[in-house]
RNA sequence: UCUCCUGUAGCUCAGUCGGUAGAGCAGGUGGCUGUUAACCACCCUGUCGGGGGUUCGAAUCCCUCCGGGGGAGCCA
């Protein structure tokens, strides 16, 4: 039988019954007659206070019970004299694992940079424990949102042999001997000798494969790891991250935006509902007002504007910006912030971008200049979701690919989708870690994933 | 990749005009009638990121390499 979690012990009414509490000691405070331990097992932010009456338990052995050690404590749940509701009045205690004094986590504040170097231990801190619990809630909420709405979870491949959409640099997957790469007569690498008989990479997006399943099962979503080999060194990029990509058949851009908005609100609501204690911690120690921001996002309809409207708003205040905008230019971080924080004061969905700055698969508008793409911009963070109605007309798609110099044979199966029973369909992608950052207020994306992978960093 | 900032005790940091390193926490010892990252007293802790240079003298100034961080680009 397993013992109770500390989270459940904290919700236990005082009684005579002997219970067991197991966990790691966060702090020990010694008085003349009384010793206090705070015991945490990660099941909740708050730990259980263990009270050791040394007068009553006169031959109790507390050797080795220090910050970081693990213990097995027995006692009864009693009403606390202190600020917590209940505490454990100890009857016996046993040290499970000692913790020498070179334990890096002390009972004081550490910087996240320091803890990043101790990634194998940082989950034992308040901050990283709370992030892990919230991340879990969000993960579960993503599945339950789509499941409750009849979407089918599809596992798209992690290794791909087509450089689809060119959404960034890819990691190559190979079993070739790099010390002795087989070359053809033209001096180029002979990939027919490689494992797959051709060049293979880690996926940068499951979208194109996702579309094939949407055009069979109507509403699908993917949720899995994604890889980008970009040399980007920011608080918002990882080389390995998780992405959520729903794809819906018989759905236009309006339907797409509707789902994106409901989806975000659902996930945020779940966190506020299930992790109030963790969220209060973030609000207090990480980002003041983060709960209010989330409540505001949940309760206000997202602002909609076309790219063209967004540009004309921004052009009026061009002198505020480092980069001036004009029709055709990208919307930069500073502009995203202006639109969400100054103009709308809530999330903004920008639609109908110039075709030049968006991917080949987005549906062409009748004006021949803009495409049916949409970005959901969140205050403070910028782009959190990117999506579009897909070009489902075979001739228009082929034309676009030609314009961009994409080879039809590389996308033969993607084109056949448009040849055989094509339908309008739409989808979007959400960077999971960015969503976790948004909800927790944690500044650096490297702190919302257990073991971050980025340029020159793959420790653990 | 560009750009700015930064590296001092186990951790968080101070160190002025260049004069030979310091506080809190942690650790140790003792004290304390129930504490809340307890408190009080005492003790312990250094390749000042590495290398080179300027100087009578460098944590401090210069060069260089390495590590960390912010911002930008790219994006999710």
Successive 10-residue mean pLDDT values, chain A, 460 residues:
90 94 90 88 93 84 86 93 91 88 80 87 91 96 98 95 65 90 89 90 92 97 93 88 97 96 97 95 89 93 94 89 87 89 91 92 94 92 91 95 88 94 96 94 92 85
Residue numbers in A 147-186, CB below 7 Å of strand B: 167-168
- Which residue minimizes Cα–C1' distance to B10? A102
pTM (two decimals): 0.93
Residue numbers in A 318-377, CB below 7 Å of strand B: 323, 330, 332-334
Residue numbers in A 260-279, CB below 7 Å of strand B: none
CA separation for the pair A270, A273 (Å, rounded): 5
pLDDT at A383: 87
pLDDT at A164: 54
pLDDT at A167: 55
Distance A63 CA to B22 C1' (A): 33
DSSP string, A90-146: EEEEEEEE---TT-S--SS---HHHHHTTTTTGGGSHHHHHHHHHHHHHHHHHHHHH
In strand B, the nucleotides that come within 7 Å of a protein beta carbon are 1-2, 10-13, 24-28, 31-39, 67-76
CA separation for the pair A439, A282 (Å, rounded): 9
Distance A67 CA to B47 C1' (A): 30
CA separation for the pair A353, A350 (Å, rounded): 8
Distance A292 CA to B38 C1' (A): 33
Q: Check whether residue A241 has its CB closer than 7 Å to nucleic acid strand B.
A: yes
Q: Around Cβ A384, how many Cβ atoms within 10 Å? A: 19
pLDDT at A299: 94
pLDDT at A161: 80
Q: What is the pLDDT of residues A236-253, one digit of tens each?
A: 899 999 999 999 999 999
CA separation for the pair A263, A127 (Å, rounded): 26
CA separation for the pair A274, A431 (Å, rounded): 22
β-bridge mates for residue A34, sequence order:
A53
Distance A192 CA to B67 C1' (A): 42
CA separation for the pair A427, A215 (Å, rounded): 12
Identify the residue whose tokens are 């579960």: A140
Q: Check whether residue A68 has its CB closer than 7 Å to nucleic acid strand B.
A: no
């Amino acid at each position: 039988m397993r013992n109770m979690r500390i989270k459940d012990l904290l919700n236990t009414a005082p009684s005579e019954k002997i219970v067991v509490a197991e966990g790691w000691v966060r702090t020990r405070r010694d008085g003349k007659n009384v010793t206090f331990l705070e015991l945490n097992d990660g099941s909740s932010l708050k730990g259980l206070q263990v009270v050791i009456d040394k007068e009553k338990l006169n031959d109790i052995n507390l050797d080795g019970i220090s910050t970081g050690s693990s213990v097995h404590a027995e006692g009864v749940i009693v009403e606390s004299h202190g600020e917590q509701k209940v505490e454990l009045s100890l009857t016996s205690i046993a040290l499970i694992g000692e913790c020498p004094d070179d334990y890096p986590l002390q009972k004081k504040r550490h910087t996240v940079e320091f803890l990043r170097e101790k990634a194998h231990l940082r989950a034992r801190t308040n901050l990283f424990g709370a992030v892990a619990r919230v991340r879990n809630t969000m993960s579960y909420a993503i599945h339950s949102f789509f499941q409750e709405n009849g979407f089918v979870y599809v596992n798209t491949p992690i290794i791909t042999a087509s450089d689809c959409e060119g959404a960034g640099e890819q990691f190559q997957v190979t079993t070739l001997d790099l010390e002795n790469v087989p070359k053809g007569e033209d001096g180029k690498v002979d990939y027919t000798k490689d494992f797959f008989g051709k060049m293979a990479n880690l996926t940068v997006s499951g979208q194109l494969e996702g579309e094939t399943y949407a055009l069979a099962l109507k509403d699908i979503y993917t949720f899995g790891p994604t890889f980008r080999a970009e040399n980007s060194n920011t608080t918002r990029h990882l080389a390995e991250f998780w992405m959520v990509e729903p794809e819906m058949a018989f759905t236009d851009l309006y339907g797409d935006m509707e789902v994106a908005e409901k989806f975000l609100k659902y996930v945020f609501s779940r966190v506020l509902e299930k992790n109030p204690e963790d969220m209060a911690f973030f609000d207090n120690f990480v980002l003041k007002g983060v709960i209010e921001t989330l409540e505001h996002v949940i309760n206000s309809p997202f602002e909609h504007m076309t790219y063209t409207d967004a540009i004309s708003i921004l052009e009026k205040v061009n002198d505020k910006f480092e980069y001036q905008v004009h029709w055709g230019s990208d919307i930069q971080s500073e502009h995203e912030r202006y639109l969400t924080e100054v103009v709308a004061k809530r999330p903004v969905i920008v639609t109908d971008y110039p075709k030049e700055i968006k991917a080949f698969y987005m549906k062409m508008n009748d004006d021949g200049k803009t495409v049916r793409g949409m970005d959901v911009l969140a205050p403070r963070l910028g782009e959190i979701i990117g999506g579009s109605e897909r070009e489902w007309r075979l001739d228009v798609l082929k034309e676009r690919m030609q314009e961009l110099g994409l080879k039809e044979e590389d996308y033969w199966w993607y084109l056949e989708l448009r040849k055989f029973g094509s339908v309008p369909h739409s989808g979007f992608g959400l960077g999971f870690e960015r969503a976790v950052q948004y909800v927790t207020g944690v500044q650096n994306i490297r702190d919302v994933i257990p073991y971050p992978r980025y340029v020159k960093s793959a420790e653990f």
